[in-house]
Amino acid sequence: MKTNPPTPPGNELWKLYYEERLPRYTSYPTAPHFTPAVSQRTYGEWLAAIPASVKASLYLHIPFCRSMCWYCGCHTTVAQRDPPILDYIAVLRREIDMVAGKLAQPLSVRHVHFGGGTPTILDPRDFADLVARLRERFSIEPDAEIAVEIDPRTLTPAMIAALGEAGVNRASLGVQSFDPAVQRAINRVQSMEQTANAVAGLRAAGIRHINFDLIYGLPHQTVESCLATVAECLALRPDRFAVFGYAHVPTFKKHQRKIAEADLPDGAARHAQTEAIARALVAAGYRRIGLDHFALPEDELVQAQANGNLHRNFQGYTTDASDVLIGFGASAIGQLPQGYVQNEPIILRYAERIRDGELATAKGYPLTAEDRLRAELIERIMCDMQVDVARIRRRHHAAPEMLAASMQRLQALADDGVIDLEGNVVRMSERSRFLVRTVASAFDAYLGNTARTFSRAV
């Protein structure tokens, strides 16, 4: 019988913070704090005020999949037939035109990301047409990154060709686990061969940058099965890995009820799995990036981390330093200099709003000066594993009292051995880096009654 070994001796920190439910801090404030106070009118005004000089990123959400994975935490819906997808694409095109029409001038774009859901569920001609529409409406820079999330189980040769011809240069493949028992328990049966064929096809089509997503903490998962998955993945040598902990929140994601809680690894096992995966990837030559990413030494994420230019956005760690992120599609989140906006998450309502000729904004958040200070502190600790609190506070012209409660929390973390606190400089060690969300939460002024919706810190 497969077992999870005990937590490595000397590293008992997980026990202190195991029960904490914390945001992933891909934004600050986090999405549960968005309110309807930001309306479509506000968003229109924010768009019109974007200066010509800014660099922008675009995110397009495709909320359809052919089947549901029981662990899924994304905004998606199962579509076994194509008509709803075709309707959605027509609406998406209209939204692109509408948003572009509200800008004072076409924005220069450095990053485009197609996420979901399953973007590659689209008809290849529709995908090509969408990219062409973006190129018409925005000024996409010649060396811009165009990234697409891919489900290797349904990727077709025609779609691979369309991705290559459209200029896609980064593909993120969902792998999660190759263990058949785990795959059955999460309703995602995906062979190594399917994944290898997808990688070979994408590389042959000129898509050089390949990312793999892995998950630990899934039902029946063990350290041995995690390591076996890593070994199979390494044979394909992707440029990057993102390694996420499964977030079991069946109250909010009803399909997760199909996962028996008794089959889930406990906190000690989750910690052993994530650390084992990290050690295996580092031993194979990957560099650890932030909390949960790994990249080959020549990857630009490694350079960005070394130069202090690493960033964090809704997709995780990134080199994307754009001032503006425009989100298209149901549930898509945008980040403008003035704050966050999120579209209607329900596809029908999103489509109705766009067909009525209005922006589909459901809610958002106008950033205050204090939010910007806390957002920067959180981003720096999440990216650099260290932060000079006083230096950033002074740059934001904030009084020390504003961060008094944060400094108290940091002192408690220092007393527990999670961080080194030297004056106002916070440093995390390799041993404690898995608790970086706990440290980031010291700067979070909003953490409170929404904590139950987040995932475990470990």
- Contacting residues toward ligand SF4, per CB under 6 A: 65, 68-69, 72, 74, 76, 116-118, 151, 174
Q: How would you class 111 by CB atoms within 10 Å of its CB: exposed for 0-12, middle for 13-18, buried for 19 or more?
A: buried
CB of 140 to ligand SF4, least distance (A): 25
Q: For residue 427, give the amino acid letter.
A: R
Cα distance between residue 435 and residue 385, in whole Å: 10
CB of 415 to ligand SF4, least distance (A): 40
Does residue 432 contact residue 385 with C-beta atoms inside 8 Å? no
Residue whose CB is less far from ligand SF4, 65 or 359: 65
Measured CA distances, 345 to 110, 332, 342, 348 (Å): 26, 8, 8, 9
Ramachandran region of residue 230, left (φ > 0), alpha (ψ -120 to 50) or beta? alpha
CB of 430 to ligand SF4, least distance (A): 30
Cα distance between residue 410 and residue 166, in whole Å: 48
Residue whose CB is less far from ligand SF4, 31 or 367: 31
Residue whose CB is less far from ligand SF4, 30 or 76: 76
CB of 4 to ligand SF4, least distance (A): 24
Closest CA to 412 of 396, 434, 435: 435
CB of 72 to ligand SF4, least distance (A): 3
Residue whose CB is less far from ligand SF4, 151 or 239: 151
Residue whose CB is less far from ligand SF4, 110 or 170: 170
Does residue 152 contact residue 195 with C-beta atoms inside 8 Å? yes
What is the residue whose two structure tokens read 């979901």? 116
CB of 114 to ligand SF4, least distance (A): 12
Residue whose CB is less far from ligand SF4, 149 or 379: 149
Separation of CA 49 from chain center: 27
